[in-house]
A and B are shown apart, each in its own frame.
Chain A
Amino acid sequence: MSPTQIAALAAGGAGLVVLALLPFYADAYYLSLAISLLQFTVLATAWGLFSGPTRYVSLATTAFFGVGAYTVAVLGEVLAWPLVLLIATAIGALMAMIVGISTLRLSGLHFVIFTFGLAELVRQLVIWYEVNKTRVLGRYVFVDITQNDIYWQLLALAVAVFAIGWLIARSRLGFALRIIGEDETVAKHCGINVTLAKVTLFAISAVFITLVGAIMAPRWTYIEPSIAFNPTISFQVVIMALLGGAHRLWGPAVGAIPLTLLFEFLSARFPSTSTLIIGIVFLLIVYALPQGVTGLWERVSRRKSEPPVAPQVQT
């Protein structure tokens, strides 16, 4: 390792310790803000894990998130907490594989449409099941999990998602996905099993999203389908990842932090018009920052380091 890498690692470790000790010196408001920040950081990074390299826009974040939350609502009081999380992981992975295998073989378009409807589909199935089989709509979540526990679990999950993202980028799988993102036909001709690579990564990404849903569930104490499968979550995650730039591992996190703060502010100040304002922010990002903040940063730093001899070809 080079000295700069060691320094970065040390700084990261020190930052992590400071973050881990946060519940001991922050009051309840800042703790809950930190939880929101971590939640969206993990969600956006997990989203970027799949959609970044492959450029397949997934609109199903809330479907997985809601499934995680519902798993806790159903099993939280019956089973031990680690076991509940494990089951949530399994369900999320299974669902991602079913969706992935049935749509990712076809084309990006079918995938987008399916993910667009997936949350609605799962929500309808949950309602149908609750109404017909258990005859309750809405459940209480009484588990022995405090805000501090939620915070630490999310922090651990954030570390895990970055570690796994870093490992994937260095593995054969990550390389294969970058080729798929550039040109899928070429990837096929190189002998890459395109479907397997895409489905694997989609499942990994979905597992993280499901886990966030499961971890966040105790925060609500009351859950019903319309809360757990809230479509704005899918939307917020996409806009955060886009603002940061989904082609870099740390890009989505860069977008998640300012936007979470903005959304907190908006929902507190302008509750009735927040949807409208968020939509406008989204459009501004799509038009003004197509590569995200990290893309802009890379362009600026490239321009500085190289004298402008020939125009750069943007890929």
Chain B
Amino acid sequence: MTNAIFTGLMLGGMYALIAMGLTLQYGVARIMNLSYGEFLVAASFASYWLFTGWALNPLLGLAIVVPIGFGVSMILYRVLLTPLVRRAPTRDALEVDSLLATFGMMFIVQGIMLTMFGGAYFSYSFLSIPVTVFGETLALNRLIAFGLAVLFGLALYLALTRTRFGTAIRAVAVDPSAARLVAIDVTSVSAFAFALGGGMVAAAGVLVSMFLTFSASSGVIFTMKALMVVVMGGVGNLLGCLVAGLALGLSESLVATFVDPGLTLAVNFALFLGVLLVKPAGLFGRAQR
């Protein structure tokens, strides 16, 4: 029982970390990124490549992969997505357009990874040392990943709530047109938020690769979980992300332990729908207008 709860909490922390980048991309930049999981897996592959090819510790690898994720996302937003933002007359239209564009992107990134690495599953062994916490045996790499996830989440939260720029980001998330009135450059803030989300997803990819097996085509499942967490928690809300992520992780590990590991996805969906039936805007979301 305690083991199931521990596993669930760690899984949930991971989900929350994965979803944090998406909540920035979707909540602030209004880009519903369906290629999100592919970028996560790409970061995992980068970490794998650094670790096996260059014997670089994944934790140090973070310092390389995260800035690259940030930069790539920035370029992507500036080059590919800004034309869509300009073209879209309303927010809904942008949502549909960005959805389709990132859907195409998802297959491009997946195709690149398939040509580079093939369809096989990859994993590497890093710090898989058992440690005992509260009488339960856990793998050290999972614990470290969880700790770093908490750290990143906290840093992001503080940056968004305590700094001037973070406040500007939140203002754009609430109302882009009103943000313009108080002299916030909405386009560059959106680009920055999207890129920050890209950096977060790269971090998540590196951390996940330390203890999960991944393949070129496993991005979809990450995108799906991240989307579920974001919508369940309330779009653009970090605290919601955390709570929804933990709920998802806990329910998943409890069902896997006590019912059947084959039904985890079904439970995820049931939880997702259950929350949305009661609160359509998500746990911490405000109803729109």
**Residue A55 interfacial (CB < 8 Å):** yes
B115 within 8 A of A: yes
Q: In the complex, how many residue pairs between chain A and chain B have their CB atoms under 8 Å apart?
A: 113
A121 with B100, Cβ < 8 A, contacts A106-B280, A116-B34, A276-B108 known: no
A120→B221 contact, CB < 8 A: yes
Interface string of B87-101 (1 = CB under 8 A from A): 100001001110111
- Kindly state whether residue B206 has any CB partner on chain A within 8 Å: no
Contact A283 B269 (CB under 8 A): no
**Does the CB pair B115–A116 fall under 8 Å?**
no
Q: Which residues of B contact A279 (CB under 8 A)?
A: 104-111
Q: Is the CB of A57 within 8 A of B269?
A: no
Give the residue name and chain of the A residue nearest to B98 (CB): A286
User: Interface majority SS on A: helix, strand, loop or mixed?
Assistant: helix
Question: Chain A 236-267, CB within 8 Å of chain B: the 1/0 string?
Answer: 00110010000000000000000000000000
| CB pair B108 A112 closer than 8 Å | no
With a cutoff of 8 Å between Cβ atoms, the chain A residues found around residue B272 in the complex are: 114
Interface contact A273-B111, CB-CB below 8 Å: yes
Q: Tell me whether A195 is interfacial, beta carbon within 8 Å.
A: no
A282 and B265 contact, CB distance less than 8 A: no
Q: Which residues of A contact B75 (CB under 8 A)?
A: none
Interface segment, one of A31-39, A74-82, A126-134 = A126-134
B224→A117 contact, CB < 8 A:
yes
B262 and A132 contact, CB distance less than 8 A: yes
Is A110 close to B, CB under 8 A?
yes
Tell whether, in the assembled complex, residue B100 and residue A235 are in contact, meaning their CB atoms are under 8 Å apart.
no
Chain B interface residue bracket vs A: 35 or more
Complex Cα gap A275–B224 (Å): 20
Which residues, 72 to 126 on A, are CB-close (under 8 Å) to B?
102-103, 106-110, 112-114, 116-117, 120-121, 124-125
B104 touches A275 (CB 8 A): no
Q: B123-144 vs A: 1/0 string, CB under 8 Å? A: 0000000000000000000000
Is there contact, CB below 8 Å, between B106 and A286? no
Min Cβ gap B271→A in Å is 12
Main secondary structure on B side of the interface with A: helix
| Interchain CA distance A158-B276 in the complex, whole Å | 37
Q: Is the CB of A57 within 8 A of B100?
A: yes
Find the A residue at minimum CB distance from B35: A279
In the bound complex, residues from chain B placing their C-beta under 8 Å from that of A231 are 220
Question: Measured between alpha carbons, how far is A242 from B100 in the docked complex, in Å?
Answer: 10
- B84 surroundings in chain A (CB, below 8 A): 287
Contacts A116-B34, A286-B97 given; indicate if A275 touches B262 (C-beta within 8 A). Answer: no
Q: Report the minimal beta-carbon distance from A104 to chain B, rounded to whole angstroms.
A: 12
Say yes or no for A190: interface residue by CB 8 A criterion.
Answer: no
- Please, which residues of chain B bring their CB within 8 A of the CB of A12? none
Kindly state whether residue A13 has any CB partner on chain B within 8 Å.
Answer: no
- How many angstroms from the CA of A83 to the CA of B101 in the assembled complex? 41
Chain B: CB-nearest residue to A275: B111
Contact B276 A110 (CB under 8 A): yes
Is B231 positioned at the interface, with any CB of A under 8 Å from its CB? Answer: yes
> Does B103 sit at the interface, judged by CB under 8 A?
yes
Contacts of B106 in A (CB 8 A): 279
A106, A273, A274: the one within 8 Å of B276 (CB): A106
Contact B107 A275 (CB under 8 A): yes
Q: Is the CB of B266 within 8 A of A116?
A: no
- Name 5 interchain pairs, CB-CB below 8 A, sorted by A: A113-B228, A116-B224, A116-B227, A238-B100, A283-B105
Nearest first, the 8 closest Cβ-Cβ pairs linking A and B are A276-B111, A279-B107, A128-B262, A282-B104, A279-B108, A275-B111, A283-B104, A117-B224
The residues of A with any CB-CB pair to B shorter than 8 Å are 55, 57, 59, 102-103, 106-110, 112-114, 116-117, 120-121, 124-125, 127-128, 131-132, 231, 235, 238-239, 242, 272-280, 282-283, 286-287, 290
